[in-house]
Structure 1
């Protein structure tokens, strides 16, 4: 799969546990790109009365650059709603979290074991 240069360093790839059944087979490998502002706006516009779960699936559908061999035109929100298991939805959510961490500025990444991270560290030592 060739990923558009626009997404260099801005994707996360992985394998779904169950996969999405399409055209006689299960498609498990995926590439998710970072979310863009328009993803959430578009999902909300397309589903104005939709529950949060529907919006979430639609946003992930917009972020998916690839899902197995499913052609982009066939990768619809309806297909994901019908064929994506809760387990696989959670895996896409984890991939999205990894992308957020990749993009976080170094100062936003918490350090472990640093005394300054504990608000009561000065009084606890005394």
Structure 2
């Protein structure tokens, strides 16, 4: 089952390390693997916490995206555990890893929008001077 799960997320994950880690079973667990976010992650988080604060929904989304966090068993990796044991600085590390993963998976054309250079005033001036010289 784990091998199948790994294949499902092949190339769609990022690995990182928390500064403080999550305390569980007498140890601080720091190494994590985060998978790409799916549409259902946010929907499920909102269904589970319909009246909850935005931060709780965000924590639920990240919990769903975490494929591993140290040696914490998947079934023990709950929102309650993260809520009590995840430091804000470590939450920021997970958020940054999520953003880095999105950038990594973005097609090259998405990194530089088409026509971005030609819409700048400098480019218009350069185009105008080229036309005058011709």
- TM (normalized to structure 1)? 0.89
Deviation at 1:110, TM superposition (A): 2.5
Distance 1:117-1:9 versus aligned 2 partners, 3 A rule: farther
Say which one has the larger Rg: 2
Alignment map for 1:56-95 (pairs within 5 Å): 56-95=58-97
Mind listing any 5+ residue stretches in structure 1 that lack a counterpart? none
Mind listing any 5+ residue stretches in structure 2 that lack a counterpart? 130-134
d(CA) in 2 for partners of 1:25, 1:94? 24
Which residue is 1:31 aligned to? 33
Show CA shifts across 1:72-126 (max 9, x none). Answer: 0100001000000110000000110111112212111138xxx817611235656
Alignment map for 1:1-126 (pairs within 5 Å): 4-110=6-112, 116=117, 119-123=120-124
d(CA) in 2 for partners of 1:89, 1:78? 14
d(CA) in 2 for partners of 1:118, 1:55? 38
d(CA) in 2 for partners of 1:96, 1:29? 15
8 Å Cα contact 2:118-2:124 kept in structure 1: no
- TM (normalized to structure 2)? 0.84
Equivalent residues, number = 124
- Structure having the higher helix fraction is 2
Runs of 4+ in 1 over 6 A off after TM superposition: none
Q: What is the aligned-residue RMSD (CA, Å)?
A: 2.1
